[in-house]
């Protein structure tokens, strides 16, 4: 230890640096400046008289500009009571870097006071504690000073309103049953301690002329889960407006609020489209003419379909009757265009060949052995019906009434042969085999669209010939 002696008038102030070094392999060090004033023993520093010796608690709602703490000190000089107070700003918000507080000096009789006042709105949720350094300096030759640190604790008040969390687009699928969950609303109360946040935030739907409200939706007051009360149809209404209120459940500390803190928010609930409507064409039948020598790629006509479901994307395809792949359709537009040869003679030869093949199958049944009724039914459904269905499907759009009658003969020929085998059977065998309808009537019932005029002529011819259905004896079997 070194003892330094000095004479006041020789040196009144020392300025030097203190170095600190760690003990690492590669030592790190730092320095700090030190200033020491040498004062006369007769010159005394000021003394704090009235100052807080424990933390000071104030409400976060303390008004800006109000005084919440007063301090006083004696100068230490008998014949010179003047002192100067200052609030030293620190390096952080908690040490008044942002000038949250300010000091105002006043004199009351022979005493001088330092009033500490609020300069900016306090917020418990942002900062709960401050440490202020108050300095008092006397008016002596050496201007001696003394500091004290005042700890200020903020008291939480119910001043925060619940804040809704933002939600992405809210939708509910159309056609879903009542009680379907739509979304969950959440609001946060930032008030920090009991009792201001003792009760969780509750929710309700606000009755309002602009609010679709309780008629369509329900909200759980505790969880904020919104569910449906009705089944929605997007084709009737595409979106609903809903006003929700969040309530914090404690008496508000805000001067302009009576009762609890509450906030409202409008949300939009869209009805999402479900593919529950079949597409429909704008015409029942499309008709067009095209030259048999037309170039490939030529657009013959465009079919147009619509769908009430907005989310659906209509695609077109040809499913029946496109003999030899003569036509194609553009999937997205419905444009029907020429793909293959439209030569009329070639097409007719194709139909004739199919008919010959079908009649050949019938001819092969001339040696049909005696089989059970069940076997006969299976033969019809496996061999005859599929071939006739295909053949009718191929030529149906342009089939004449004469062709329809000829096709009926195919079914009739099989039934006649089957009945010939089962001579001892009752006339109800035909019913058991394939019903009383003709082949064309079977296909018509399945949705095959014949030309309207040809179909009407076909029915007239059958009536004229007396080829009508009979409950007991299927007369068309006797061709």
Domain that holds residue 388: 344-478
| Pair (148, 173) in one structural domain | no
pLDDT in tens, 194-220: 555 555 788 999 887 777 777 899 999
pLDDT class for 114, splitting at 50, 70, 90?
A: very high
23 inside domain = no
Give the pLDDT of residue 476.
31
| Pair (359, 309) in one structural domain | no
Choose the final residue of a domain: 257, 272, 287: 272
| Pair (379, 414) in one structural domain | yes
* Helix extents (H) in 181-308: 213-216
> The domain spanning residue 318 has which CATH number?
2.60.40.60
Give the pLDDT of residue 362.
52
438 inside domain = yes
Pairing of strands 187-188, 163-164: antiparallel
| Pair (76, 144) in one structural domain | yes
How far is residue 40's CA from residue 392's CA, in Å, rounded to a whole number? 128
Give the pLDDT of residue 53.
92
Rg (alpha carbons) of the chain, rounded to whole number? 50
pLDDT class for 478, splitting at 50, 70, 90?
A: very low
How far is residue 47's CA from residue 112's CA, in Å, rounded to a whole number? 12
Give the pLDDT of residue 398.
66
Give the pLDDT of residue 129.
95
Choose the final residue of a domain: 217, 245, 272: 272
β-strand partners of 153? 57, 129
How does 404-433 read in b/e, with b if 16+ C-beta sit within 10 Å? bbebbbbbbbbbbbbbebbeeeeeebbeeb
For the cut 50, the answer to whether the pLDDT of residue 1 exceeds it is no
Give the pLDDT of residue 143.
85
Q: Where are the strands (E) in 225-383, listed by range? A: 225-228, 239-251, 260-272, 280-281, 299-302, 305-306, 327-329, 335-338
Mean pLDDT calculated for residue range 460-465: 82
221 inside domain = yes
- Other residues' Cβ atoms within 10 Å of the Cβ of residue 70: 16
| Pair (358, 469) in one structural domain | yes
37 inside domain = no
36 inside domain = no
Mean pLDDT of the chain: 78
| Pair (368, 436) in one structural domain | yes
| Pair (337, 351) in one structural domain | no
30 inside domain = no
pLDDT class for 78, splitting at 50, 70, 90?
A: confident
For the cut 60, the answer to whether the pLDDT of residue 170 exceeds it is yes
* Residue with more model confidence, 469 or 48: 48
pLDDT class for 479, splitting at 50, 70, 90?
A: very low
28 inside domain = no
For the cut 70, the answer to whether the pLDDT of residue 4 exceeds it is no
Cis peptide before 195 (omega within 30 of 0): yes
| Pair (460, 367) in one structural domain | yes
| Total structural domains within the chain | 4
| Pair (144, 52) in one structural domain | yes
Choose the final residue of a domain: 295, 326, 342: 342
For the cut 60, the answer to whether the pLDDT of residue 370 exceeds it is no
| Pair (183, 282) in one structural domain | no
Tokens in use for 343? 């030569």
Give the pLDDT of residue 255.
64
Least confident piece of the model among 29-43, 109-123, 358-372, 378-392: 358-372
Residue recorded with tokens 């049909």: 368
* Residue with more model confidence, 170 or 344: 170
For the cut 50, the answer to whether the pLDDT of residue 71 exceeds it is yes
| Pair (234, 304) in one structural domain | no
pLDDT in tens, 335-362: 989 887 666 556 556 555 655 665 555 5
| Pair (353, 474) in one structural domain | yes
For the cut 80, the answer to whether the pLDDT of residue 366 exceeds it is no
388 inside domain = yes
Pairing of strands 56-59, 145-155: parallel
């Amino acid at each position: 230890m070194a003892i330094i002696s000095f004479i006041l008038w020789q040196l009144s102030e020392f300025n030097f640096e203190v170095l600190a070094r760690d003990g690492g392999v590669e030592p790190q060090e730092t320095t700090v400046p030190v200033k020491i004033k040498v004062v006369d023993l007769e010159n005394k520093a000021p003394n704090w008289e009235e100052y807080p010796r424990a933390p000071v608690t104030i409400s976060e709602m303390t008004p800006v500009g109000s005084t919440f703490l007063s301090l006083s000190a004696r100068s230490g000089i008998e014949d010179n009571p003047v002192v100067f107070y200052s609030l030293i700003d620190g390096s952080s918000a908690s040490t008044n870097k942002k000038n949250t507080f300010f000091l105002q000096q006043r004199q009351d009789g022979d005493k001088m006071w330092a009033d500490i006042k609020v300069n900016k709105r306090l917020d418990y949720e942002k900062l709960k504690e401050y440490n202020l350094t108050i300095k008092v300096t006397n008016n002596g030759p050496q201007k001696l000073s003394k500091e004290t640190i005042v700890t200020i604790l903020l008291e939480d008040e119910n001043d925060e309103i619940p804040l809704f969390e933002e939600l992405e687009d809210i939708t509910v699928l159309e056609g879903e049953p009542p009680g379907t969950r739509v979304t969950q609303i959440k609001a946060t109360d930032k008030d920090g301690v009991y009792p201001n946040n003792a009760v969780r935030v509750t929710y309700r739907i606000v009755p309002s002329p602009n609010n679709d409200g309780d008629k369509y939706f329900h909200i759980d007051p505790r969880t904020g889960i919104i569910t449906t009360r009705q089944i929605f149809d997007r084709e009737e209404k595409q979106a609903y407006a809903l006003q929700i209120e969040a309530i914090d459940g404690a008496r508000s500390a805000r001067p302009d609020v009576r009762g609890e803190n509450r906030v409202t928010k409008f949300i939009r609930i869209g009805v999402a489209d479900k593919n529950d409507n079949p597409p429909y064409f704008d015409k029942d039948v499309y008709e067009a003419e095209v030259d048999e020598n037309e170039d490939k790629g030529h657009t013959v006509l465009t079919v147009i379909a619509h769908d009430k479901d907005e989310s659906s994307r209509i695609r077109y395809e040809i499913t029946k009757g496109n003999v030899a792949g003569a036509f194609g359709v553009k999937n997205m537009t419905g444009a029907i265009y020429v793909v293959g040869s439209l030569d009329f003679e070639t097409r007719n030869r194709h139909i004739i060949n199919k008919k010959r093949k079908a009649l050949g199958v019938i001819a092969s049944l001339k040696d049909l052995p005696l089989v059970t009724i069940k076997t006969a039914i299976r033969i019809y459904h496996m061999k005859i019906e599929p071939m006739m269905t295909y053949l009718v499907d191929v030529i149906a759009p342009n089939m004449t009434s004469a062709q329809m009658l000829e096709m009926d003969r195919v079914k009739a020929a099989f039934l006649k042969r089957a009945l010939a085998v089962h001579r001892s059977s009752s006339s109800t065998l035909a019913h058991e085999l394939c019903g009383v309808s003709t082949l064309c009537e079977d296909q018509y019932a399945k949705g095959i669209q014949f030309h309207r005029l040809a179909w009407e002529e076909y029915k007239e011819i059958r009536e004229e010939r007396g080829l009508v259905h009979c409950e007991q004896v299927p007369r068309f079997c006797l061709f």
